[in-house]
A and B are shown apart, each in its own frame.
Chain A
């Protein structure tokens, strides 16, 4: 079908209808949506992009609400829908749309973008569901230094304190992957045969880390103690 003379508004109207057919698992013609997406993502046409948003933003919002982790977030469905559509656009602009053979696949990707927006948000904004230990109040990490420190820099410092490869693996499992001793022993049975062995090694490593003057200074903002 030659769409070269079809107004974008007509394509949008038919695409909205065909999308509803697809979602209702009725017979549908994906060509209108495909052409609308092509104008939006390949040509960068504002009118087509606006229609894509108007058709798919509500759908992405609905998908966000149905995501199993949505209730763990502190954000609106609109935020995740907007983030997902933005990521969808940035990933597929130019000629990437050509790698999608069907509308079903395009919509699966949009849905995956909704999932990604929620999961990425939860990585950086975890919701505390466990009560803090009784002695623990809000943890006041040294904010002044903290905000300038990157993960790579901190990891380099940790590796300079903990130099043994097995010990570094334990620190990685404990602080990067948040694994429990039993999980570590299960994943690396050739290195640690029991969870108890992992726990003992971790206690030793945590002692070293606590005693490192640079790490103490980064965490508390206080000057290192003198050796005297």
Chain B
């Protein structure tokens, strides 16, 4: 709170709430008198709000920030973790009830009887999420049908034209082209990132989805190049996922023979 506000805002029901009373409010343990005071005093309401913001900041940023990832805990549970992490995980488990609970849940979960997998009733294509990088279509050579019309037409790749499309997301460019092959079109692509990030995309997984069905999974090589074959003409979505969890999504590309 600024000094100006501090000077102009005074407690309406002095004395102002104590720090312990403010803590009680934050803990949901305020007594009736404290609650009544708070209801009638904007000054103390603001003090409570500031205290809440500070504790929220601490809770949001610090909660479990020292915990090993769930993946590391799972590796530990299955005796698959590197030897050097075992001691660290065991030391952490001694003090962390959350990780102990995670391991108990995992143990019970793995003990569930395996069951045959019936046909999936729901599509398994992941929806595009807030943190995903949605690559935007930025260029396609002009085609006669597009000249003079909207330049924001759906991206179209034809194996006969030799066109290359370009898509961009934050710090990433993806080039795509289609080539005719015996069993169907082959989608060739290259992902180019900022130099310091390019290595992170090496080995990334490329999923191609068509009508919500997974068609092809391929990998990105050290040069950012990937190849998806064979595909069928029609509309596809592309998801490129790096080992650090970063995802680039390219939606609604039409493939033509």
Chain A contact residues, CB within 8 Å of chain B: 19-20, 22-25, 44, 46, 49-50, 52-54, 57-59, 61-62, 66-69, 76-79, 81-83, 86-87, 89-91, 93, 99, 105, 107-109, 111-113, 115-117, 119-120, 123, 133-136, 139-142, 146, 149-152, 154-155, 158, 172, 175-179, 183, 187, 203, 206-207, 209-210, 215-216, 218-220, 222-223, 225-226, 228
Contacts and interface: CB of A to CB of B under 8 A. Distances in A.
B3 interface: yes
B65 A112 contact: no
Given A53-B217, A176-B62, A78 B80 contact: no
A227 to B, nearest CB: 10
A91 B53 contact: no
Contact of B74 (A62, A66, A112, A135): A112
Contact of B110 (A44, A57, A111, A154): A111
Contacts of A79: 126-127, 129
12 contacts: A19-B117, A53-B214, A78-B123, A78-B124, A89-B205, A99-B80, A116-B74, A120-B71, A133-B26, A175-B63, A187-B95, A218-B57
Interface in B1-39: 1-3, 6, 19-20, 22-23, 25-26, 28, 35, 38
Contact of B56 (A23, A77, A81, A141): A141
Given A58-B124, A113-B71, A116-B73, A50 B19 contact: no
A207 to B, nearest CB: 5
A11 to B, nearest CB: 16
B105 A176 contact: no
Q: Which 3 A-B pairs have the closest CB atoms?
A: A151-B65, A78-B124, A116-B70
A108 B73 CA distance: 14
A203 to B, nearest CB: 5
Given A53-B214, A123-B64, A175-B59, A22 B114 contact: yes
Contacts of A220: 1, 50, 53-54
Contacts of A105: 78
B129 to A, nearest CB: 7
Given A23-B115, A78-B124, A216-B50, A228 B106 contact: no
Interface of B: 1-3, 6, 19-20, 22-23, 25-26, 28, 35, 38, 45, 48, 50-67, 69-71, 73-75, 77-78, 80, 95-98, 102, 105-106, 108-110, 112-120, 122-127, 129, 203, 205, 207, 214-219, 227-229, 241, 243, 245
A223 to B, nearest CB: 6
A81 B117 CA distance: 14
A117 B215 CA distance: 23
Nearest to A177: B96
